[in-house]
Structure 1
Amino acid sequence: MSTDAASMATPPDRLAVDPESPYHDEAILQRGVGVRFKGADKTNVEEYCVSEGWVRLTVGNTVDRKGKPMTVKLRGTVEPYFHDQA
């Protein structure tokens, strides 16, 4: 990931919480990223993509057979933001 001024002002187009994902970026996650989906703040986002307009949300405390949280993919307006700029 690039570290120029523009990338530090806005979150990336796609970001994932799962460390095994190619879209995982620990430095950005440490900074604190919030996600507004369809105008409501969501706290259970596992992954999002702004350009494709979807979020992957966890479903309760259920896990799959590999121990990863069960998720549901929803389409709509995605607005990521940094907590320190909110």
Structure 2
Amino acid sequence: MDFQREVLDRMIVLETKMDVVISGCPTCKAKVDASEIALTKTIESTKAAHHRIDEVYKTAGYISAGIGLILQVIAFAVQNFKGVH
């Protein structure tokens, strides 16, 4: 527990120092704000890409299952009807 408390205390000190530095440098604040916006957009884009990839995998699974079923029907037909003429 002491370690966690120490880490939290140090983080608070760092955040305070960063706030002081950023408030003293408007250009720095603008860059930080722009970085936060870019990061948010990147996260949203990544989530959308993962959603599209998941849909591709799902569709590929359905196609594979369909092809497997068709091949099994053809194999069944060939095995059971090859002597019927």
Higher RCO (CA 8 Å, separation ≥ 6 residues): 1
TM-score of the pair, normalised by structure 1: 0.16
Give 1 or 2 for the bigger CA radius of gyration: 2
Larger helix proportion, structure 1 or 2? 2
